[in-house]
Structure 1
């Protein structure tokens, strides 16, 4: 049996398989967002259609297609409870694209598939605008253009490589227009995404912390933010604390933030010292309303398009969830004090503990206060006593401490003696409150990793951290990181708890750890460039571009005018190029074409390949010898001018004579004559 290859397959089969492969590439990035039944049915339909193409079997009947359509619509409605909206719409588009291939008989059907494929390709950006998605969709675009060009080559069996080259040149020809539109088309709002559900299922910091949840983030290597310090003056890694939600209410297992009215009542006196650090943050979408800043930022970060407000616990919020990549500037001081310097009634919220919760920790607090060495001691001495207990009590730092019960502090101090940062911070704060010291938990990110290629510090979800703040008389809130007492290497970058790499990643790391690290840094630098120059190309940066080219106070109207002038200029340049190209054509051939057109207008159609002598003979037979004599003489001169050693006249002279020729009157006759 002869082996089937792309070179030996019939053209219809080859073209169909190629189109199905492109459709599969378009749908592949959607798999994580599609219902399982949609992915299964789409895969089955594409395999079924491929089998029919290879085996040259007839396509399924209309009743099969109608039945599948009814099942698809019903399943979509049952899954999404609607046929409208982003998720339901994408599900229908994907499955309808697959079903349309089952009636792929004529070029008309192929064109419907092409344009439905273009639309399905765009829906990928509803869920992700990453560089990987863009590269995948660029390949899909070239594949669809190749299939479209191939469909316009109906004769013979042209190779797909030829169609691919034409498609590539088409894409390159359109690239300048796309680039101009990208730079200058006014941007009124984020192009893609629906903020209400764009980040569904994404992990990250929350305004609540159940003991054990941050350990889950330690397994997530996705980027949370990138930071670029002015002049590359980054502080030591041990000082890189990026502040997130501050939690003060505790029910025994879960910490939550105080209501905004209680946070505001506590006062936000911030006292800084030393030199400020300026930096720029590129924050990944989180669907949360808070901004990450290095502890502590006295002024609101600069984020155009958002209203930024602060709270007494040094958090900064925006007026809507961040469902898109944002970039903002901030300034922070690593040496600071905050909060009331003297005791106040508002500190009572930071002493509260649930009744009858963690009784052994409460007893430990009373026991430590009864110790003569700590009797009447100030807060710093109590803090050091607790940290010393963590250092010497056999406590360990682990990613898998097991499932804690309701009395989490008791379990940590007396039973398990191991935990992740939130276990340690929570137990520390509960014990400090038991000793009548106001304390709270701060969540955020600590450390980070410097990418030596682009100079950005990268914060990952695995850098998520929880630490404590205690109140000291005369100072206010003071940071204490109890995890550093158990695992000093965690405060910085020398110690991270991560899950074991997969088989492939483990093999690459085993062969060359440096190569794997450089490869990751390079990819992240490229991806960061995509974020900075493409995803974060905002309206303000468009107006900055106009300033750079001479506009003093640019506006959206100026932007529209520049785009209009550019498009008009490009159109005129195209017209001039067309005229120039026409002028480069052979003037002799143009004269011959004009003569052929005039003969057709007079009723005589001659073959496109007829030379002047043959055209003269056809005219003489059709119009008669006398009436066609001037035209016959002119055609013979045209032939002699081209082929005789010293032809009569020039193309310009023959063109002038052509305009003066007396043409025969139009007469009925056969559409095409051959010389007799």
Structure 2
């Protein structure tokens, strides 16, 4: 196969290499492009490769115009526009592929190169992960290799030679790019991902249907990373990260309260914290939501530069804009707290409402519990329901089946199995049937420490739903009914595991700890990429200036440092150029100076005359007065070709200035 490729004409070989690089650039986009676009690009590239191998003529302009018109129509039909990120990326990929069908001259190749560079950058519109960066680095080296190869018009140079040159170019440019990365001002939202970049991102929702959080348990992607400060790490059972609080129930779906009454008469937060705080830093993955997850409960505003944060009456922290890129903030939380009114208030009545016509058996169960304990307070009733969950044969499972309209009835009496949202929803419905104000809280519970970098990782599979009930004299109290059904879910953090793939299962069979070790190492590397590259923010730039000795760094100082480095590098480049010129064949330069002196004296000679011939012409033209000059020229020739040890070039250069040169 390799011999056949090497036997191809250079044009065909270079074309195949360029097509391979283009395919590598486009490949990461396949999941983001319409299916027709991926198929069209693949078909065009294969067609162009076949034409190159078989030496057939390229298609005419009518073919290209027809394909272009079809592409525009398909893009418009798919995206309903020709503008925007998705439509633009679709068009640029197809145009890059179509341009290869008119690859005839070097000028066409240069257009393809720069279209390829631009297409390479569009990959970062969808992902800025370490894998994407590594793939695009390979693409960059491939495009540079093709570009260098195009500037070698003579012969059939090996691609390895062009690749070596491209690699040196990249290495020489790397320090400049590193300096620009560290010091070029970051001005949001210039450096952010476009607002539509998070479409399709999985994660918690603003509402909860019974069964939808169970799907997140299959998602092992990372939701956030946490680094605790001061060496204080809370117990795992206290790792509750608060998200949307859901209080309105229509029988199937839980939503936040949004009625006019609740807006006018909402229950105040009235947060009170006690004990020592936990200080930590959160690196939140993009989710296209305004939610700022903090461990319950955070009294102080999280430190997130450039964003306006506010806490809702139900203790959820919100930002003034969605989290569309990697976000890092610091927070202070208290595991011991209480919130909400101590006495019954009018706004609490909304947390007792249930839709008519749903869950009649649960309502009957509530009446039965009331009859059994007519004088029991809220705490006693909560304890009775939790005892029923512990001893009633209820099961915690990822796959309880599809629930019908009366979800609470099915859980309490029929199925007796469910995931956290089944349990929390049924518990809150029963509490409300007992006339106890209750609501569902969603968020994340738990996490695992990465032994490599000591960060705590919270995954989408840690998504959780629990309940809050209102008790007189205590306010809102967290009650996690899942802990009554499966205590290990909260304490020891034993998650229900989704079925593993063949590869992961094979690794786990050979070495049970190897898969976890490899995953921890890879996630630590990814975390380093997130912390030092993706999350290299304005504040980090100013911190860098502080380390350089600036007391109160500003953007002016940053500009001065950047300009100073540019000037310093420019002076260094100029000095390098002068040095290189001085080292570039000083023998020829010295001979050229001698030629100019003799030419000014009236001696005619050919431009390529060697020193021996020039010496003979000088003796003939100037007589005996040129003997010393002729001897110098002969010694100059011997230094070059005979390597005469007496003909030291530095000594010859000094003699040059002492010679008696003839005058016109």
Give the TM-score category using the shorter length.
over 0.9
SS class of match (2:325): coil
Are the structure 2 counterparts of residues 662 and 169 from structure 1 closer, same or farther at C-alpha, using a change threshold of 3 Å? farther
Q: How does 1:138-177 map to 2 (within 5 A)?
A: 138-177=137-176
Does the 8 A contact of 2:268 with 2:340 survive in 1?
yes
Structure 1 residue 442, shift from structure 2 partner: 0.5
Does the 8 A contact of 2:446 with 2:493 survive in 1?
no
Are the structure 2 counterparts of residues 141 and 237 from structure 1 closer, same or farther at C-alpha, using a change threshold of 3 Å? same
Structure 1 residue 194, shift from structure 2 partner: 5.0
Distance 1:246 1:553 in 2: 42
The residue number in structure 2 matching 1:30 is: 29
For structure 1, list consecutive stretches of 5 or more residues without a partner in the other structure: 664-676
Q: How does 1:397-416 map to 2 (within 5 A)?
A: 397-416=396-415
The residue number in structure 2 matching 1:345 is: 346
The residue number in structure 1 matching 2:621 is: 626
Are the structure 2 counterparts of residues 153 and 340 from structure 1 closer, same or farther at C-alpha, using a change threshold of 3 Å? same
Distance 1:216 1:540 in 2: 37
Structure 1 residue 317, shift from structure 2 partner: 0.6
Q: Alignment length, in residue pairs?
A: 654
Structure 1 residue 597, shift from structure 2 partner: 7.8
Are the structure 2 counterparts of residues 564 and 647 from structure 1 closer, same or farther at C-alpha, using a change threshold of 3 Å? closer
3-12 or 70-79, which moves further after superposition?
A: 3-12
Distance 2:286 2:598 in 1: 69
SS class of match (1:441): strand
Structure 1 residue 60, shift from structure 2 partner: 1.8
The residue number in structure 1 matching 2:200 is: 201
Distance 1:256 1:312 in 2: 15
362-371 or 401-410, which moves further after superposition?
A: 401-410
Superposed CA offset, 1:120-147 (max 9, x none): 1011111111111111101111111111
Indicate yes or no: 2:637 matched with 1:639. yes
Structure 1 residue 614, shift from structure 2 partner: 4.9
Q: How does 1:77-476 map to 2 (within 5 A)?
A: 77-192=76-191, 195-259=194-258, 262=262, 265-371=266-372, 374-476=373-475
Are the structure 2 counterparts of residues 397 and 452 from structure 1 closer, same or farther at C-alpha, using a change threshold of 3 Å? same
499-508 or 469-478, which moves further after superposition?
A: 499-508
SS class of match (1:32): coil
Are the structure 2 counterparts of residues 343 and 173 from structure 1 closer, same or farther at C-alpha, using a change threshold of 3 Å? same
Distance 2:220 2:82 in 1: 35
Does the 8 A contact of 2:89 with 2:122 survive in 1?
yes
For structure 2, list consecutive stretches of 5 or more residues without a partner in the other structure: none
SS class of match (2:257): coil
SS class of match (1:265): coil
The residue number in structure 1 matching 2:545 is: 546
Distance 1:597 1:104 in 2: 48
Are the structure 2 counterparts of residues 47 and 522 from structure 1 closer, same or farther at C-alpha, using a change threshold of 3 Å? same
Aligned residues: CA RMSD? 2.5
Structure 1 residue 584, shift from structure 2 partner: 3.7
Indicate yes or no: 2:58 matched with 1:59. yes
Superposed CA offset, 1:579-612 (max 9, x none): 23333445323212445788999997645xx642
Superposed CA offset, 1:157-177 (max 9, x none): 222111111111111111111
SS class of match (2:196): coil
Superposed CA offset, 1:415-440 (max 9, x none): 22111100100000000010011101
Does the 8 A contact of 2:193 with 2:325 survive in 1?
no
285-294 or 484-493, which moves further after superposition?
A: 484-493
Superposed CA offset, 1:296-317 (max 9, x none): 1111100000001111111111
The residue number in structure 2 matching 1:12 is: 11
Distance 1:599 1:201 in 2: 79
Q: How does 1:461-500 map to 2 (within 5 A)?
A: 461-500=460-499
Distance 1:293 1:616 in 2: 89
Does the 8 A contact of 1:379 with 1:437 survive in 2?
yes
Distance 2:4 2:386 in 1: 71
SS class of match (1:500): coil
Does the 8 A contact of 2:236 with 2:493 survive in 1?
no
| TM-score (norm: length of structure 1) | 0.92
Distance 1:401 1:100 in 2: 54
| TM-score (norm: length of structure 2) | 0.93
SS class of match (1:13): helix
The residue number in structure 2 matching 1:515 is: 514
